[in-house]
Amino acid sequence: MPIVVWDLQVRLFHWSLVAFFAAAYLLEGNWRALHTHIGYTVLLLVSFRLVWGALGSPHARFNDFICSPTSSLQHLLALWRGNARRYGGHDPAGAAMIVALLFAITITGLSGMTLYGMEGNGPLAGRFANLPGGLLERIHELAADTTTALVCVHVAGVLFTSYRLRENLIAAMINGRKAKPE
């Protein structure tokens, strides 16, 4: 019998993040101001998630799923062998990916915001004028590419876990429900 594991805030956060991240990625070339404002929105979303990780419903909280890298690796191995256990919230491998994604998105957003500020725009206008712009641009690009690569691994991981556990995790992120854990 499925039970509700993801509250509305987590689901809205997730799908808004997907939409805004995709928009920022696609508008990177010619639509600079729009790209930047979407980037600010992504940073706001991540800030909200950090607060919700402390105040949200049980499975939204970071203390429900943050674990050691060893647990994440053990879970990945168990998934590969086909004997992984089910979790109500995020499993240890998903948890490691979520931390990596939130971190990479934050670095991408902050480096972009600083770069925009250096050019005299946005809330950081006029600050960091002495920073090497070329280096900052490279950091922003590298962080964005890293986030994109992590997203690909994340989606592959979701599909593989769904297949292994015979459970549609994408539907769970839409309707909030997952099978009761063992």
Determine the residue with CB nearest ligand HEM.
Answer: 94
- Residue with smaller CB distance to ligand HEM, 21 or 116: 21
118 vs 172, beta carbon nearer ligand HEM: 172
Least Å distance between CB 39 and ligand HEM?
Answer: 12
Write 98-106 long-range contacts (CB < 8 A, 24+): 98/65, 99/66, 100/150, 101/147, 101/150, 101/151, 101/154, 102/46, 102/49, 102/50, 104/143, 104/146, 104/147, 104/150, 105/17, 105/21, 105/42, 105/46, 105/147, 106/43, 106/46
Q: How far is the CB of 126 from ligand HEM (least distance, A)?
A: 30
- Supply the minimum distance, in Å, between the C-beta of residue 115 and ligand HEM: 19
User: Among residues 10 and 115, whose Cβ is nearest to ligand HEM?
Assistant: 10
Is the Cβ–Cβ distance between 95 and 67 less than 8 Å?
yes
Q: From 168, 155, 156, 142, select the one nearest 14 (Cα to Cα).
A: 155
Q: How far is the CB of 132 from ligand HEM (least distance, A)?
A: 28
Tell the residue number behind the tokens 């419903």, with chain if given.
57
Q: For residues 115 and 151, which CB has a smaller minimum distance to ligand HEM in the complex?
A: 151
Question: Which residues in this chain contact ligand HEM in the complex, by CB under 6 A?
Answer: 10, 13-14, 17-18, 21, 49, 90-91, 94, 98, 101-102, 105, 151, 154-155, 158, 169-170, 172-173
